[in-house]
Amino acid sequence: MVHEEAEALLQEMLAPLTAEQFFDSVGRACVEVKGGPDHARRNLFGDDPKATVLNAFGTHASELDCHSESPKQPPPQARAVSTSDEFLKLIESFHDRGYTVRVPDVLPLAPKLQLAARALECLLHQPVGCSLFWSRAGAKAAVHYDKRDNIIVQLEGRKRWFISSDPPGLQNNWQQVGEPLPHLQRHRVVDVEPGDLIYIPRGTPHTVESTTESLHLAILFVPLTLRDAIIAAVDHLSDSERSFRETAVSRVQAADIAALTNILSAGVSSLVAHCRSETFVQNALELRSSRMIADLPALPKPEAPPRSITRETCVRHSPLAICDLRSSFGSLDFSQPGGHVAVHPGVEPELRFIASTASFRVRDILGESSEEVKLALVARLIASGFLEVAG
């Protein structure tokens, strides 16, 4: 997936909101987008969202959790089941007790949803997750806020959202001890139907009520924050400055705070000096992107290598393939979901062509390497799952 493909996929999901308008709102303001049942995003989870969920009984029944503003009794225990009918009965047992069911980690269940999430990962260079919420009519949630930014896509039924109109709190993605419960004073009411979308920045208090039986997706992410960028700079500097890797405190209980203060001050001063260089900052972000992409779930690999690859073979990026390419210790680091591929720097032009071209014939690869080298490079990236033979 190249940048242009990712932009197009995200635009399809957000329309009529533009991708530029969306990114301008990230972390700043809620956005509501009407779509209707015929909008493309209505089918992100398949033509029949309930069937998509229930067919995942073997992997997701034991992973359910739930919430409710006023439950009738404690929730049932999530458990493994043997059929989709049993899975439905398990979900209904949560509903009978007044709970909305959350089905976590649903990206693998729907190819269109996977592609949309991967497009967002390609543009954000941050991991994206997704849960599905299934409610009965009348179900309500307590006032809360999410620790990640939330793109809500209504799949079935109708819901009414009550969303704070105050600036988002942007809380960190962890729970503070003694943190007070959020409250909802100044707010707006947003009614959604199938195909509608809402974006809610992290730390925005809200609650929701199902006016009918309802299924919606919550696509979750955290954009690159200043904290993330500073950590990326620290990580990059620690590769070259030994002092950042030396022991600062041997025993925390007996730490010499005065000495540690001096060490920290010296380290921060060095970091500030390096961060005045745009080249250093760019390299730090590239290193971070490389690691983030490699940490994504591995791409599916072919069960068997293609029978033959020739200069006329047409190949393309596999559907979920994204990558980052950088120089590292005398070789090229080609990172893709699932890991890194180390490649000789002599094939950098060829590898950059492959990374930036969604579909091509082997003979079209730019670079001065021999045809044998180009064939070997393509074969290696097919084996890693990044490329696939087209047609």
Give pLDDT, residue 93.
96
Residue 175 has pLDDT above 80, yes or no: no
Give pLDDT, residue 267.
96
Q: How many CA atoms lie within 13 A of 99 on its CB side?
A: 19
Q: Which two tokens stand for residue 287?
A: 């290193």
The overall average pLDDT reported for the chain is: 94
Mean pLDDT of 172-183: 79
- pLDDT tens digits along 280-329: 999 999 999 999 999 999 999 998 777 789 999 999 999 999 999 998 77
Residue 259 has pLDDT above 80, yes or no: yes
What's the predicted TM-score (pTM) here?
0.92
Query: What angle (nearest 5°) sits at the alpha carbon of residue 53, between those of residues 50 and 59?
Result: 165
Q: What share of the chain is helix, strand, coil (3-state, %, to 5)?
A: 40, 20, 40
pLDDT confidence tier of residue 172, bands split at 50, 70 and 90: confident
Residue 268 has pLDDT above 80, yes or no: yes
Residue of 100, 82, 103 whose CA lies nearest to 92? 100
Q: Which amino acid is at 140?
A: K
CATH class of 3-221: mainly beta
Give pLDDT, residue 305.
74
pLDDT confidence tier of residue 234, bands split at 50, 70 and 90: very high
Alpha-helix runs per DSSP H in 184-304: 226-240, 257-275, 278-294
pLDDT confidence tier of residue 181, bands split at 50, 70 and 90: confident
- pLDDT tens digits along 19-34: 999 999 999 999 999 9
- pLDDT tens digits along 91-143: 999 999 999 999 999 999 999 999 999 999 999 999 999 999 999 999 999 99
Long-range contacts of 281-288 (CB under 8 A, 24+ apart): 281/229, 281/233, 283/236, 284/229, 284/232, 284/233, 284/235, 284/236, 284/237, 285/229, 285/232, 286/324, 286/326, 287/232, 287/235, 287/236, 287/239, 287/326, 288/125, 288/228, 288/231, 288/232, 288/235, 288/236
Residue 49 has pLDDT above 80, yes or no: yes
Domain boundaries, the chain: 3-221, 233-292, 314-389
Give pLDDT, residue 303.
85
- pLDDT tens digits along 148-157: 999 999 999 9
Q: Is CATH 3.40.50.10140 the classification given to domain 314-389?
A: no
